[in-house]
Structure 1
Amino acid sequence: MKQILLSLVIIIPLCFVPSTFTAAAEEELTLEEKDAERLNLYKKVETLTNIPWYYLAAVDTYERGLRRVVKDRPKEIGLASIFFSPSQWVGPLNPKLDEQEPLSISMFGGLGLDGDGDGLADPNNDEDILYTFARYLEQYGFNKEDFRIALWDYYQREQTVSIIDGHASIYEKYGHLNLHDHVFPLPLRSNYSYRSTWGDRRGWGGRRIHEGTDIFAGYNVPVKSTAYGIVEIKGWNMYGGWRVGIRDLDNIYHYYAHLSGFEKGIEEGTIVEPGQVIGYVGSSGYGKAGTQGKFPPHLHYGMYRDNGYTEWSFDPYPSLKSWERKGFQLLKQGK
């Protein structure tokens, strides 16, 4: 039945209006306008395939994050960022790597499909890209577990499946894509201090570098989520003490450590937004569960980027300064 369905997809013309979107037009759009255009694309494909738009948005957002850090991936030409290698698109044995004829692509086992009804399967066409990935997902079914299985077969990495699944949950909750705001992790009117400490040496537990910025403040000062995201980890770590890990929509993992405790309702899987309290400044860590007071109270804030294979720490200090400046500007404006 799945094979018959895929054959019909190739033979029956679609009722899409051919896309007139160009790379030049994309460059002229604001971020809000791009979000609106993307949402229209996702929902258009949803009507044809019954794949919920927020699943498509989640995959596209994840791949957009990869394009920023993976050097062997070209910059997207349009609005869609899902990447297919030439052999994936046209078929592994197809001698013509720039093939755009849907029937020929199908004969060679390629994934590429015509999504806008122009008779071509163009790997640089937004509607063709999204329609192709939606049809891939559709082969597995329509519930959340089917979606996770399809992603595992495609990416072969559980971390990637979890990240995309989290993105989908966030988009489903809010119903739109304009979720780019960030805030400083402590109240701006509280008494705090910090400097760039990323890369400094640490000795407890063996030689290692400091993978974050320490923000010193009093006990129980509220700690806020800096971004829209989903809680991946909550609990004890012998280095970080009571800590929370949150994944945002840029695939970045935000690490909040040495807390004195957690805000009620913050659990693994909780969706959070900028400014939402997740815990409180403390001095936990460097020992067994419950160890406190081995250093002055502070928030250890770390940021880790995912590239589809692994994660690495990068300096959060520039982001913190940027969010702090913007926060003070908003306070001056009475917002």
Structure 2
Amino acid sequence: MKIILCLITLLLFPIHVYAETDIDAERMALYKKTEAVTFLPWHYLAAVDEYERQINDKDTLISLDPPDWFWQGTEDGLSMKGWNRDGDGDGKGSRDSDEDTLYSTAKYLTSNGLSRQDIKIALWNYYEREVTVQSIMNNAKLYETFQTLNLDQHAFPVPLSSNYSYNNTWGDGRGYGGARIHEGTDIFADYSTPVYATTYGVVEMKGWNKYGGWRIGIRDPYNTYHYFAHLSGYPEDLEIGSIVEPGQQIGSVGSTGYGPKGTSGKFPPHLHYGMYKDNGKTEWAHNPYSYLTQWERKKQPAS
């Protein structure tokens, strides 16, 4: 049964394996062309486009697909009533044109101004969902920082040279706090073993939880939230909003949790690692075990 669940997970959440490709270059060229005429930094367009690609499962060159109200207009497709604009110079604003779609989206996002807060307000008006807005803004930070669309590398969450073990315990029962199931994989290791970020991402959550103890949450560019729990501590410079990359130390293995703040030692030291997928409406846990086995076989990035 667990093997079947792993296969289903891989089908639902395929592991990206592409390197910098021609399609990345094509997308970047379109983003930067739009930036040149609208002054909206390309990384915002890339962030919105990638978000739409994940929630719509539309892996086309440009995955943005604004709703019908966005395209309201006259017969030639141009109207100030809607947001459709002519980006490719053919005199029409069409949802079938990638350049028109990007140009129209950029005009909408800059309708309040060009500041980060102006763009955030426009995103809220469009999506009306805080998790979505934060995810897109975080992705924009990632693209701006690393200046590439290729942010798909991963790392195993503890050093491969360390003394560790793990099994597929997804769905097992948990007693503390009432009847519930295990939504993750436990990686048992010695106290203070370094814990690494498994992906590029932005720290969304950090602090104490009575179940997870000291924990940290990181959202990656592909709309997956990575959860690390039962830590013994964090690097001093790691804060909510910090940008991380695969193989960067984000904490250390501990045995914290299952009680009020500071509780430790109620179970052997281990890292609880969870993954949560967001589809634009809700977020749910899925089994990280198959991903861990994939990353374990790859060369560990330098920390």
1:88 to 48, 69, 75: 69
For residue 203 of structure 1, what is the aligned residue in structure 2?
A: 175
**Superposition TM-score, scaled by structure 1 size:** 0.81
Deviations 1:299-330 (A, max 9, x none): 000000111111100000111111111237x9
Letter in 2 for 1:101: D
Q: Secondary structure at 1:244's aligned position in 2?
A: strand
What is the aligned residue count? 285
The amino acid that maps onto 2:64 is I
Residue by residue over 1:78-103, the C-alpha shift from the partner in whole angstroms, topping out at 9 and shown as x without a partner, is 41111212x22432xx7xxxx87223
Which structure has the larger Rg over C-alpha atoms?
1
Whether the 8 Å contact between 2:71 and 2:95 is mirrored in structure 1 is no
Provide the rounded CA distance (Å) in 2 between the counterparts of 1:90 and 1:59: 18
Range 109-118 or range 260-269, more displaced = 109-118
Matched AA of 1:223: V
| Within-5 A mapping of 1:5-16 | none
Query: Hey, what's the Cα distance between the residues in 2 that align with 1:33 and 1:272?
Result: 26
Quick one: distance in 2 between partners of 1:176 and 1:293? Answer: 43
Amino acid of the structure 1 residue aligned with 2:222: D
Letter of the structure 1 residue corresponding to residue 46 of structure 2: A
For 1:303-322, list aligned pairs within 5 A. 303-322=275-294
Q: TM-score with structure 2 length normalisation?
A: 0.89
**Of 267, 271, 274, which residue of structure 2 is paired with 1:295?**
267
Q: Identify the match of residue 173 of structure 1 among 122, 125, 145.
A: 145
Match of 2:9 in 1: none
Letter in 1 for 2:193: V
Any gaps of 5 or more consecutive residues in structure 1?
Answer: 1-28, 69-74
2:159 is paired with a residue whose SS is: coil
Partner-residue secondary structure (3-state), 2:157: coil
The structure 1 segments of at least 4 consecutive aligned residues displaced by more than 3 Å after TM superposition are: none
Using the TM superposition, give the Cα deviation of residue 37 of structure 1 relative to its aligned residue in structure 2, in angstroms: 1.4
Alpha-carbon contact 1:100-1:121 (below 8 Å) kept: no
Say which structure, 1 or 2, has more relative contact order (CA 8 Å, 6+ apart): 2
Residues 1-335 of structure 1: matches in 2 within 5 Å? 31-68=20-57, 75-76=58-59, 78-85=60-67, 87-91=68-72, 101-103=76-78, 106=79, 109-327=81-299
Q: In 2, distance between residues paired with 1:190 and 1:294? A: 23
Structure 2 residue identity aligned to 1:40: A
Q: 1:30 to 1:37 in 2, by over 3 A?
A: farther
Name the SS of the counterpart of 1:102 in structure 2: coil
C-alpha contact (below 8 Å) 2:77/2:94 kept by paired residues: no
Which amino acid counterpart does residue 151 of structure 1 have in structure 2?
L
Contact 2:158 2:195 in 1 (8 A): yes
Pairwise CA distance, 1:34? 1.7
Percent sequence identity is 57
Unaligned runs of 5+ in 2: 1-17
